[in-house]
Amino acid sequence: MHRATEQVLVNLALYDGVADHLQADQGIWIGVDGMIRAVGPVDDVLAEAGDVPVVDLGGDVVMPGLTNMHVHLSLGLPGHLADEVHRSNLAELVLLMADSARRTLHAGVTTARLVGEGRYADFALRKGIEAGAVDGPRIFTAGHALCCTGGHGWEADALEADGADGFRQLTRAQIRAGADLIKVCISGGIAGQYEAIDTPQLLDDEMAAVIRVAHDWGRKVTAHAGPADTVRRAVELGLDCVEHGYELTDEVTRLMAERGVWYVPTIVVSRCEQFFRDSGVPGWLMERALGAGPRHWESLQHAIRNGVPIALGSDMPPHAGYDETTATVRELEFMVDAGMPVADALKAATIRPAEWLNADDKLGSITAGKHADLLVLRDDPTRSVSALRTLHVVMKGGVVYRDDHGRTRARR
């Protein structure tokens, strides 16, 4: 159990998630409740805080904690991962997910949107993290993903239904369990043996049923989706967010932008060959994933060009290694490589997801009144998102969970 201590962080440059540039000589006053009490020029903040312990960050950069919008803490891709997840009993599953949650937080991800977990273990984990019994990010979860019989994810804990009634029932069951959002698989994908990425899977009345019930209960719906035509149908029915979008077009991304539908590209999943090898996935899966790469990249470029709201999500475990960094940071680098300005990419990982989650009053930027969820980096992220490779401190709610150089103990 960790408790926040009241403190003022000084000797830092700030990327606050609001302004696009770095602000020098700032101070951040954090209260005993783990909330930010004041941010601003260091002398003003020190004068306001009075006799509060001061932590010197040695001139490093502070930025908001990252939000990863496509996480499976119980990822069960065909291969070793599925074996481990599916052979575990419920207690073992929770421990496995707790381990992934801790690593996720240590990777700088202070908020995670879970888009398909199993056996309602995610709700127990969310409770444990909120109570301070387990180290992990703030959790927003969809509970089980939903799919049609034999649809995408059925082997990986998605719940199957058919017909509008069946989907209404499953949607309500997730909300009953405590779901913050609903995840539905409307087309094929990479990890299902008997489907293709462009297999349409839900009929219009089924998609409409999920969206209607979720919206009536104040929840957003995000869809696992590949082909442009399936995405177009779902967007017209009121979908809120598209995952992967392996085969988006100029036309459908224009429609998404016009309707304010978000996109979480998870671009790493069609280029993470080493991760697939290490996970021992079958050959057909590897071939399909990497084969989707070029078209997936074009989808991301269409979305960037047409102004679709984009948020960071990795699908791979957020902490998984990728090119000597994490999948989360690599995803952000790829977004910039695909043409997204650095300033937009940083927001896609911080304040924008908080907006989608309706949590931007408390999360996503370093602003008075919000949770003190922040990272310390050696390099400047507004010059290059690769600065996240120099991350060495992770704080959530005013509590330090990672501090590689003991910097936050250097009080004065």
The stretch among 4-12, 275-283, 309-317, 351-359 that binds Zn ion (CB under 5 A) is 309-317
Six-digit token string for 97:
């997910």
Whichever of 74 and 110 has its CB closer to Zn ion, that residue is 74
Q: Residue written as tokens 């700032």?
A: 26
Whichever of 27 and 151 has its CB closer to Zn ion, that residue is 151
Distance in Å, CB of 70 to Zn ion, minimum: 6
Tell whether residue 157 is a contact of Zn ion (CB under 5 A). no
Whichever of 189 and 397 has its CB closer to Zn ion, that residue is 189
Whichever of 39 and 112 has its CB closer to Zn ion, that residue is 112
The stretch among 76-84, 120-128, 310-318, 370-378 that binds Zn ion (CB under 5 A) is 310-318
Which strand (E) or helix (H) includes residue 194? none
Distance in Å, CB of 349 to Zn ion, minimum: 18
Six-digit token string for 388:
């996240």
Give the total of residues touching Zn ion (CB under 5 A). 1
Query: Which 3-state string (H, E, C) describes 273-323?
Result: HHHHHHCCCCHHHHHHHHHCHHHHHHHHHHHHHCCCCECCCCCCCCCCEEC
Distance in Å, CB of 85 to Zn ion, minimum: 13
Distance in Å, CB of 258 to Zn ion, minimum: 26
Partners of 220 in the beta sheet? 181
The stretch among 77-85, 314-322, 356-364, 375-383 that binds Zn ion (CB under 5 A) is 314-322
Distance in Å, CB of 289 to Zn ion, minimum: 12
Q: Residue written as tokens 């927003």?
A: 140
Distance in Å, CB of 243 to Zn ion, minimum: 6
| Burial category of 409 from C-beta neighbours within 10 Å (exposed 0-12, middle 13-18, buried 19 and up) | exposed
Distance in Å, CB of 131 to Zn ion, minimum: 27
Whichever of 180 and 315 has its CB closer to Zn ion, that residue is 315
Sequence-ordered strand ranges (E) for 97-219:
109-114, 138-141, 146-148, 159-161, 181-185
Distance in Å, CB of 191 to Zn ion, minimum: 8
The stretch among 56-64, 132-140, 307-315, 358-366 that binds Zn ion (CB under 5 A) is 307-315
Tell whether residue 122 is a contact of Zn ion (CB under 5 A). no
Distance in Å, CB of 153 to Zn ion, minimum: 8
Whichever of 240 and 315 has its CB closer to Zn ion, that residue is 315
Give the integer Cα–Cα distance in Å for 142 and 128: 17
Q: Residue written as tokens 């991760």?
A: 275
Give every CB contact of residue 287 below 8 A, 6+ residues apart in sequence: none
Give the integer Cα–Cα distance in Å for 297 and 335: 9
Longest dimension (CA), the chain: 65
The stretch among 103-111, 134-142, 311-319, 344-352 that binds Zn ion (CB under 5 A) is 311-319
Partners of 35 in the beta sheet? 371
Give every CB contact of residue 82 below 8 A, 6+ residues apart in sequence: 76, 155, 156
Whichever of 30 and 114 has its CB closer to Zn ion, that residue is 114
Q: State how beta strands 36-41 and 325-326 pair.
A: unpaired
Whichever of 37 and 288 has its CB closer to Zn ion, that residue is 288
Six-digit token string for 349:
């990982």
Whichever of 247 and 315 has its CB closer to Zn ion, that residue is 315
Tell whether residue 240 is a contact of Zn ion (CB under 5 A). no
Find how far residue 253's CA is from the centre of its chain: 21
Whichever of 248 and 372 has its CB closer to Zn ion, that residue is 248
| Burial category of 53 from C-beta neighbours within 10 Å (exposed 0-12, middle 13-18, buried 19 and up) | exposed
Distance in Å, CB of 272 to Zn ion, minimum: 13
Tell whether residue 333 is a contact of Zn ion (CB under 5 A). no
Among 247, 315, 344, 373, binds Zn ion (CB under 5 A): 315
Contacts with Zn ion, residue ranges (CB under 5 A): 315
